[in-house]
Amino acid sequence: MIVIAAVLLAACQQETAKMTQDTPPQNEAPTQTVTVPEVTSQAPAAAPMQAVQLIEYSIRMPQSVTAGRQAFHVVNNGKELHSFEIEGNGVHARLPSDLSAGSESHLDVELKPGTYTVYCPVKGHKERGMTTTLTVQ
Ligand SMILES: [Cu+2]
């Protein structure tokens, strides 16, 4: 009797699982409609994503990007604390907080054509090689 009840329950749960699998698309649709305008207002032109890797002691990233809004996706692949700062042509932006090993963050910057200096602002790291030049075209 318990077995049957369990089987019935399992069958019932499967049915519920199927139901919930079928349901999300319908549920997601209104949520997406609500979310999209919010995202759009934050990133008007869907800024291109630039991957940045921080290690001891260098910064791996594209040497040139196109002008406009750029989204830097910064990952600390090193063992020490690192950060990401970009400076030039009146722009001076930095990650809101330093990144511990393995963590990542984003920095959105509006860049005009020109040359920018990118470096790790953690003490002594720039001098050890965590600096590079970014050309914006
Ligand atoms: Cu560093």
From CA 26, how far away is CA 22, in angstroms rounded?
8
Q: How far is the CA of 4 from the centre of ligand 1 (A)?
A: 62
Check pLDDT > 60 for residue 25: no
Q: How far is residue 36's CA from residue 69's CA, in Å, rounded to a whole number?
A: 19
**In contact, 70 and 109? CB cutoff 8 Å:** yes
Ligand 1 center–CA 11 separation, angstroms: 56
Q: CA 115 from chain center: how many Å? A: 24
Ligand 1 centre and the CA of 80: distance in Å?
7
SS3 of 11, please? helix
pTM of the model: 0.67
CA of 64 to the centre of ligand 1 (A): 21
Q: Which domain holds residue 102?
A: 49-136
Could you tell me the distance, in angstroms and rounded to a whole number, from the CA of residue 128 to the centre of ligand 1? 9
What pLDDT digit, counting tens, does each position of 71-123 carry?
999 999 999 999 999 999 999 999 999 999 999 999 999 999 999 999 999 99
Q: Are residues 60 and 27 in the same domain?
A: no
Mean pLDDT of 10-17: 45
Domain count, the chain: 2
Q: Are residues 70 and 121 in the same domain?
A: yes
Q: Encoding tokens for residue 54?
A: 């921080």
